[in-house]
Structure 1
């Protein structure tokens, strides 16, 4: 099982996750940020320059799913994952990939008030970083508050919400542990973004080999088999 602790920057995910890993029996902390750090070293600079956030890298999203599955196969038990996910399509892809591997995910959102978020960001220290980098990190965190607020609609509908503004990391972790034990934080099924509200163009193909076998795909983000294809993105040709 995975306990995914979501929330914007300054919500207290990492400190809460460390406490939770000490409370839940047979649990291990898995921080996907380390995958982002590895990709910054492994990928060419040209590719890294094409994105502003490592979450925009398809390889990061795939590796999060594959690494989590590998760790659970190796260790069993519970993975505690502190990671901000504010884009619904990325949540769909990652949680869908985990669900397709029969890995249950309990999604928890830490949601302190905005005033508390801003106070925590202002007081946040980055050990070992020069002052200029610290200011950059803080401003980056401030800039993500509106993005977080825009995502609250689907986040609060999808996750078990905990207002940890007045709670310590230990108290927050105890709340999460209780929600997991009592199943107040439900398991997320394979998820999809809402149905489109305007006309959509999609493309598909019937592909046969020399033995007249047809190619089908098993999507990670929903149940069932389909012909290869998908929704045509803005500016993309159907081919």
Structure 2
């Protein structure tokens, strides 16, 4: 089983993934930032369809969770990050995420991270997994 955390920069994917691992028996952590270097957040629906179909055909269940927060919170979180050169790039990519959100919310389960700390977001995901 793959628990896929999708969402834009600042949504809480890395922090939530770290909190989620102890809650899912046998889980392994794959750093979303490291994976992102080779497979950025999937924002193109056709790419998601191809990836998810390939995994499904291989018999690997995928649970897609879309970590989402409002634009103001995303901007604040990105601007607070230490990686100054990445800030501009991340802020410039927020419109692409907003454009992809309609299909992302159809394909996955949306988890609002605006007011929830990563531990609560992880608990919510673990509960949804059963």
Tell me which interval the TM-score lies in, with the shorter structure as reference length: over 0.9
2:51 maps to: 94
The reply to whether residue 157 of structure 1 matches residue 106 of structure 2 is yes
Q: Note the C-alpha offset of 1:139.
A: 0.6
Structure 1: which 4+ aligned runs deviate by more than 3 Å? 31-37
Instruction: Confirm or deny that 1:174 pairs with 2:123.
Output: yes
Using the alignment, how far apart are the partners of 1:139 and 1:22 within structure 2? 33
CA–CA distance in structure 1, aligned partners of residues 126 and 23 of structure 2: 7
Q: Whose Rg is larger?
A: 1
Does the CA-based 8 Å contact 2:7-2:67 persist in structure 1?
A: yes
In the alignment, structure 1 segments of 5+ residues that lack a partner are 38-53, 56-82, 127-133, 182-239
In 2: Cα distance, 1:110 partner to 1:36 partner: 15
Displacement after TM superposition at 1:90 (Å):
1.5
**SS of residue paired to 1:109:** strand
Residues 33/10 of structure 1: CA separation in 2 closer, same or farther (3 Å cut):
closer
1:108 to 46, 54, 65: 65
Q: Secondary structure at the match of 2:28?
A: strand
Aligned residues, how many? 130
Query: In 2, distance between residues paired with 1:18 and 1:31?
Result: 8
Q: Show CA shifts across 1:145-199 (max 9, x none).
A: 1000100110111110011100111011001101111xxxxxxxxxxxxxxxxxx
Which stretches in structure 2 are left out of the alignment for 5+ residues? none
Q: Find out whether 1:20 has 2:13 as its counterpart.
A: no
Query: 1:21-170 alignment to 2 at 5 Å?
Result: 21-31=21-31, 33-34=33-34, 54-55=38-39, 84-126=41-83, 134=84, 136-170=85-119
Higher-RCO chain (CA-CA 8 Å, sequence separation at least 6): 2
Q: Which has a greater percent of helix?
A: 2
CA RMSD across the alignment: 1.6
The normalised TM-score by structure 2 is 0.92
Structure 2: distance between partners of 1:94 and 1:32 = 16
Under a length normalisation based on structure 1, what TM-score does the superposition of the two structures give?
A: 0.52
Quote the residue 1:3 is aligned against. Answer: 3
Deviation at 1:31, TM superposition (A): 3.3
